[in-house]
A and B are shown apart, each in its own frame.
Chain A
Amino acid sequence: MQFLQYFAVFTQIIYGSDNHLNVTGSQIAATSVDSETATILPVDIESKIGVDFDITATTEVPLATNSIIFDNIDKTTDYLKKFTLPSLPYAYNALEPYISKQIMELHHTRHHQAYVDNLNAALQGHATAFQKADVKKQIELQQVIKFNGGGHINHSLFWANLSPAGTPAASPSAAPQLRDAIEERWGSYDTFKEKFSKALLGIQGSGWGWLVKDKNKGILSIETTKDQDPVIGDRIPIIGVDMWEHAYYIQYLNDKASYVEGVWNIINWETAETRFKNLTSLYL
């Protein structure tokens, strides 16, 4: 355990006392592995629906070894926690007509799974490089950890801040305190919605839009992050929206404005309110 903690601090992957993954910033750009085409582990979806939404669940499933850069590393890092794909808190078709079943299924079982697999592989590779005191390899893997760890964090947050249209959670009235804070910050809910939508549509390339709260000052703001950069540091993610093309293309094609318009019907305001109120529980 001591070694794990030392390793964790060294690699800037912090396993906090509440066991939530927290990837910090300041990770250096180097090389990358693909996250979209990893071998997909079988996921028993039906049995997972309704199970607690826990991105920190561990598993005995062996690590994917699809990434070429990890092929020659021996795997003697049994102490490492392995991240698993969280189950969705609703069925794949539950967000229709705003997000199609086909998108949700691909997005969850392929894209998110690939981030999880590549994160596990990168952490394992990093641990091995650490044991061998191979600093170059560790630095090289930082960007891989950032990208895939970010992908895992972001998608976990995203699934939890969506809710089927028409459910009580999908109404902004499920977030009374957050709504007050939004009105205080932007004058009205509609102005906030307009500004958030504009930020989402202004993203150049792949990325995410976020409603965030500054942990110290308590101030709300709208942010965008590129690729899979997660919201970190003093900023608490309240609502995240995936603006990668894979999030909408099969259904909306190039009409991303309609996707953004649709997403407003399926925001989980209960989750948003919880994140807004509970500043210590960042990722659940």
Chain B
Amino acid sequence: MSLSNLRARLLPSTVRAVRVASTQATRAKHTLPDLPYDYGALEPVISGKIMELHHKKHHQTYVNGLNDAEAKYAEALGLGDVAKQVELQALVKFHGGGHLNHTLFWENLAPKSSCGGAPPSGILASQINKTFGTYDAFKKAMNAALMGVQGSGWAWLVKDSETGGVGIVTRPNQDPVVGKLRPLLGIDAWEHAYYLQYENRKAEYFGAIWDVVNWKAAEKRFAA
């Protein structure tokens, strides 16, 4: 199942749920995507150990949790058990969100030796300047949003699909960006994303991560 299908699934739509049920027999399981770089490639900004655990353990757990929740959901659909379906939606949202978010996150990063850290260009750059003034002002605003996450969550640069403008939003836990907002660039503010290296000094992590941000990926999403 593609990410866009999964995102569609997270919308509360009975119609979609029925359609999913009809394709249950042929539905492929979600799998952990490969990283487009080595675990150590983002050092010293993000240690190889963090990347390996984050990808192999945390992301894999979301993939497993999503497959498990979907299998149970299919069963509940088959039985016509609506209460069970509603109960399982929270798990689909959490694990599905975790899978979506981390998949987007890995693509959002790149080693410095590739294009990591090179500032945004083209229309996305002008939209960022239009909203925030400068790229530096945008980074400052994004870091403030990240610092303001109380508990676990993410901050995103998003595109409003109706106006074409960009803005910053935060989401708690693994809630994904859905609906008219399109995620362009997400930063993981869960403690597992930085704790082994930065401990409680999360401002340092948020400050450093810009050196490995892949703006090419964000530009591609903006144009899509």
Contacts and interface: CB of A to CB of B under 8 A. Distances in A.
Interface of A: 31-37, 106, 110-111, 114, 143, 147, 204-207, 226-228, 244-246, 249-250, 253-254
Given A114-B200, A227-B151, A245-B191, A204 B94 contact: yes
24 contacts: A32-B149, A34-B202, A35-B150, A36-B202, A37-B200, A37-B201, A106-B199, A110-B199, A143-B150, A204-B90, A204-B94, A204-B173, A205-B153, A205-B172, A205-B173, A206-B152, A227-B151, A245-B191, A245-B192, A246-B191, A249-B191, A250-B199, A253-B53, A254-B58
Interface in B146-181: 147-153, 172-174
B150 A147 contact: yes
Interface residues of B, number: 26
Contacts of B90: 204
Contact of A205 (B151, B199, B200): B151
Contact of A254 (B57, B147, B152): B57
B203 interface: yes
B200 A36 contact: yes
A195 to B, nearest CB: 17
Contacts of B174: 204-205
B57 A110 contact: no
B204 to A, nearest CB: 8
B151 A228 contact: yes
Contacts of A246: 191, 195, 200
A249 B196 contact: yes
Nearest to B199: A106
A34 B149 CA distance: 8
A254 B203 contact: no
Given A32-B149, A207-B151, A244-B151, 16 more contacts: A32-B148, A34-B202, A34-B203, A111-B200, A114-B200, A205-B152, A205-B172, A205-B173, A205-B174, A206-B151, A226-B151, A245-B152, A246-B191, A246-B195, A250-B199, A253-B53
B61 interface: yes
B190 interface: yes
A254 B192 contact: yes
Given A37-B147, A37-B203, A207-B151, A249 B94 contact: no
B147 A34 contact: yes
Contact of B61 (A35, A206, A227, A254): A254
Contacts of B192: 245, 249, 254
A205 B191 CA distance: 10
A258 to B, nearest CB: 13
Nearest to B192: A245
Contacts of A254: 53, 57-58, 61, 192
A253 B57 CA distance: 9
Contacts of A143: 150
Interface string B11-36: 00000000000000000000000000
A250 B151 contact: no
A181 B57 CA distance: 39
Contacts of A227: 150-151
Contacts of B200: 36-37, 106, 110-111, 114, 246
Contacts of B172: 205
A147 B53 CA distance: 29
A274 B66 CA distance: 42
Contacts of B94: 204
A143 B151 CA distance: 13
Contacts of A206: 151-152, 191
The 3 closest A-B pairs by CB, nearest first: A227-B151, A205-B173, A245-B191
B213 to A, nearest CB: 21
